[in-house]
A and B are shown apart, each in its own frame.
Chain A
């Protein structure tokens, strides 16, 4: 079966208009006769649920948290990109499109990215209209900052908690629709399977996490907005509950999983301290606007720091290596994430790490504090040479920009980043891979739509900072409301759910439910010796070691032996206490880890098969002389979409060729 991206013909700037015009419409009065299921309530799911209900559809939205406001989009810190060009610095829809395709190392679909750039401007307007308090200049207009991989300031932000403010905007729109009855919200409810009827996605099986009740839900289509799979690594910046189950279950029901090996390792996270560590905390990329990344030039200095004999302040300026500024003079500290991460690893591999484990580099704000302090002193007619005044004023400016991030760092590490440089190290953050979707964001299973991080579509092999919020809201507010309508309008009236054409009592639903029940029963009956977390941690080790920041043939082969063995042990020796008919956190985790134990293998397979480096996927065998990722466009300029063939069979690989009509493929350079 070939994957048809269904990209409209014509020039790229006209494609979305053309597609919108070609769509079939549902009459406003008829929209309430269609039921739509949405799984996930983050930026993508929440905005889609609100918007579809505003249009009149009968929406049911599901989330595993106790409230839709807690979806993990809330943790996004730095900002959201939009091609507004408010700074008059040369930005445009085309430039955002170009930067995103280049940033993704030429592995995304041009037409989707162009549309994303087009609607980016509407998102900011919409959010401001909802009362999202973006940062403003004294004149009352919106402020911007810069993010990695761009030479213009196009990032809108709300201090260091932009994701929170945008999500609360979407949440408030959703709350309004819940109040009117347009959306029925199901909280503390987890999707455990997808139901397919006559080849179309027509429902889901869920478990109520409080009562344990397993339920069948039927609808005219299913939208998955369930986020990414970074927790396959155990340690990541994802929330503890983030999981692959919804998308992986859909994969096992026939949806293609695209580019699972594309994972983003974020360069600025708080380093690991011990085996008890349950998650890693991100320090926003926006900090690289003002923070300078460095390690000591001499290994001896680094070793003294590692042993606690020296501190950062003992290293004089001439003995510091600001390696990003040295190697990439034009982008400096604002190179894209994959490049920044890889360089941090290189420095630490050379023995120049700056904490006890040797796995950290400095992110230093001392120069920024002085620079801002002097500017403020000048503005207020104070002595620019008075150190104390400059430090005080400088710290005030830095606090206004990044206050909550500095506070977070202090809480976790017990160190004050206004006084000593932060120590940071890369950590798993975002997954560019996801379920394959066409231009309409529909998977290869008709009626199954996939939005936000859960799909694969816009970021290629590396996502640029401040683009995840943009994509989630673009998909939910401005793409799916059109494309879902086109799908629904083509369903004959006699085949609609609310017309009684099918119901939760049909065979497909009861069969799917009994598979879910069997699995729960199995998990509870093993009563082995190892906890679920132990298995998860072991899987994480394998993934990080062999499928992390650098990958190679031999390592991936080894992972492909280790994962099935670990999975087999899980199903014989896991200990899930308690029962299935009440709130059981071990059981919830067990189901998710069981899926990660299968999914990890698929990731390694994809990483093995892609014998090139691109973006976040770095194959050691394929690098330039300077150690940059080296693509092989002849062989790998395609989307790798994996099809499930059965538990005891290898998955089948389908390829969607990527064609670049507008952006010229070159070796990415940020020098």
Chain B
């Protein structure tokens, strides 16, 4: 695809720290190549800011290949921007046109406080996993890996759910700031595997309990989470989560 050059106007959320009041600042992004990734475009803007003696825009990012889940950004109202099945770091400028104005905000949710500019604190996700997102097995003493065959169809369902990168776009997209796609993905992964069965009930109860405690909302079927998920995790995991939760709540001992 042939390279284009473009000039853009950015409206970026700037906030000094957790307790400060934030606001939008406007920046010009000039001579941007259509081959750049979105974050490379921000790198160019930041180089200009630093050369002008200003502090660069802080944003989270690391692997820049769509798998670590560290990058975020709500771009023109959409978490991870306009492209389907894409993280912000994989979004390329060829999706934009010369003269565009782009609004860039952090994830907005009570459970994800802003730390600075576009950087948020997503440790609530870690605490939900710590509440039960695992199989309680110590290192050593595991049986041979082929001792328990798992039907391919079940393994594939588990895998589809396990591809979650924990970025939090589902929360940012949801009008209720619900984390149910995230929690559902982990619960679904283990539900489909024999290894997940012994803790099936306690896992879902503990994770949901922690989710509520962290201040996430509940699902009211907007499906915005599925639409914004860079790994295209389907809302069926929320249906599974609800079913697992009901089953566990009614039958726990």
Residues of A within 8 A of B (CB): 47, 50-51, 54, 65-70, 72, 74-75, 84, 86, 122, 124-131, 133-142, 158-159, 161, 163-165, 168, 171-173, 175-176, 178-179, 185, 187, 210, 239-241, 273-274, 276-279, 281-282, 407-408, 411-415, 477-478, 481, 529, 531, 533-534, 575, 577-578, 582-586
Contact = CB atoms under 8 A, between A and B. Distances in A.
Nearest to B146: A141
B139 A50 contact: yes
A129 B135 contact: yes
Contact of A141 (B1, B65, B69, B149): B149
A204 to B, nearest CB: 21
B31 to A, nearest CB: 10
Contacts of B83: 411
B56 interface: yes
A319 B70 CA distance: 45
Given A126-B139, A131-B195, A136-B150, A66 B1 contact: no
A515 to B, nearest CB: 26
11 contacts: A75-B63, A126-B140, A133-B158, A136-B152, A164-B67, A164-B163, A210-B116, A477-B139, A478-B140, A577-B54, A586-B50
Contacts of A124: 145
A292 to B, nearest CB: 24
B142 A126 contact: yes
A133 B193 contact: yes
Interface stretch (B117-125, B172-180, B220-228): B117-125
B62 A176 contact: no
Contacts of B33: 273-274, 276
Contacts of B36: 274, 276
A274 B33 CA distance: 9
Contacts of A178: 126, 130
B39 interface: yes
B66 A408 contact: yes
B133 A128 contact: no
A241 B39 CA distance: 14
Interface of B: 1, 3, 16-17, 33, 35-37, 39-40, 43-44, 47, 50-51, 53-56, 58, 60-70, 83, 85-86, 90-92, 94, 115-116, 119, 121-123, 125-126, 129-131, 133-140, 142-146, 148-152, 155, 158-159, 162-163, 165-166, 189-190, 193, 195-196
Contacts of A70: 62-63, 68-70
Given A72-B68, A141-B146, A66 B60 contact: yes
A176 B134 contact: yes
Given A75-B63, A136-B149, 10 more contacts: A130-B134, A133-B193, A141-B149, A173-B134, A175-B129, A175-B130, A178-B126, A274-B33, A278-B43, A279-B65
Given A133-B193, A407-B85, A411-B86, A66 B158 contact: no
Contacts of A533: 43, 47
Given A51-B139, A136-B152, A161-B67, A583 B166 contact: no
A175 B92 CA distance: 34
Contacts of A276: 33, 35-36, 40, 43-44
B125 A176 contact: no
A130 B199 CA distance: 12
Contacts of A529: 51
A192 to B, nearest CB: 19
Q: Which of A72, A84, A273, A577 has the most CB of B within 10 A?
A: A577
A169 to B, nearest CB: 9
A129 B137 contact: yes
Nearest to B57: A585
B146 A133 contact: no
B70 A65 contact: yes
Given A577-B55, A578-B55, A585-B56, A175 B64 contact: no
Contacts of B193: 131, 133
Given A175-B126, A578-B55, A585-B58, A129 B195 contact: yes
Contacts of A279: 64-65
A158 B159 contact: yes
A159 B159 contact: yes
Contacts of B135: 129-131, 172
Contact of A67 (B64, B122, B131): B122
Nearest 8 CB-CB pairings of A with B = A140-B149, A172-B134, A129-B142, A414-B1, A125-B142, A133-B159, A179-B130, A128-B145
B144 A125 contact: yes
A136 B192 CA distance: 14
A122 to B, nearest CB: 7
B152 A138 contact: yes
Q: Which of B65, B144, B148 has the most CB of A within 10 A?
A: B65
A140 B150 contact: yes
Contacts of B62: 65, 70, 72, 239-241
Contacts of B136: 176
Nearest to A179: B130
Contact of B90 (A65, A135, A137, A412): A412
A135 to B, nearest CB: 8
B207 to A, nearest CB: 11
A125 B69 contact: no
Q: Which of B60, B68, B138 has the most CB of A within 10 A?
A: B68
Given A133-B155, A133-B158, A172-B135, A128 B195 contact: yes
A140 B166 CA distance: 28
A529 B51 CA distance: 7
A279 B149 CA distance: 40
Contacts of B159: 133, 158-159, 165
Contacts of A51: 138-139
A586 B56 contact: yes
Nearest to A178: B130
Given A126-B142, A172-B135, A408 B65 contact: yes
A274 B67 CA distance: 23
Nearest to A407: B85
B209 to A, nearest CB: 13
B97 to A, nearest CB: 15
Contacts of A50: 139
A445 B161 CA distance: 44
B64 A240 contact: yes
A478 B140 CA distance: 8
A187 B123 contact: yes
A142 B145 contact: yes
A278 B145 contact: no
Contact of B116 (A128, A239, A582): A582
Given A65-B62, A129-B135, A158-B159, A583 B126 contact: no
Contact of B162 (A135, A165, A175): A165
Nearest to A160: B67
A86 B146 contact: yes
Contacts of A131: 134-135, 158, 189-190, 193, 195-196
A276 B158 CA distance: 39
B68 A75 contact: yes
Contacts of B35: 273-274, 276
B152 A140 contact: yes
B73 to A, nearest CB: 14
B54 A74 contact: no
Contact of A128 (B54, B68, B142): B142
A243 to B, nearest CB: 11
A583 B163 contact: no
Contacts of B162: 133, 158, 165, 168
B134 A175 contact: yes
Contacts of B68: 65, 70, 72, 74-75, 239
A585 B39 CA distance: 14
Nearest to A210: B115
Q: Which of A168, A171, A414 has the most CB of B within 10 A?
A: A168
Contacts of A179: 130-131
Contact of B133 (A172, A278, A575, A584): A172
Nearest to B51: A531
Contacts of B163: 161, 164
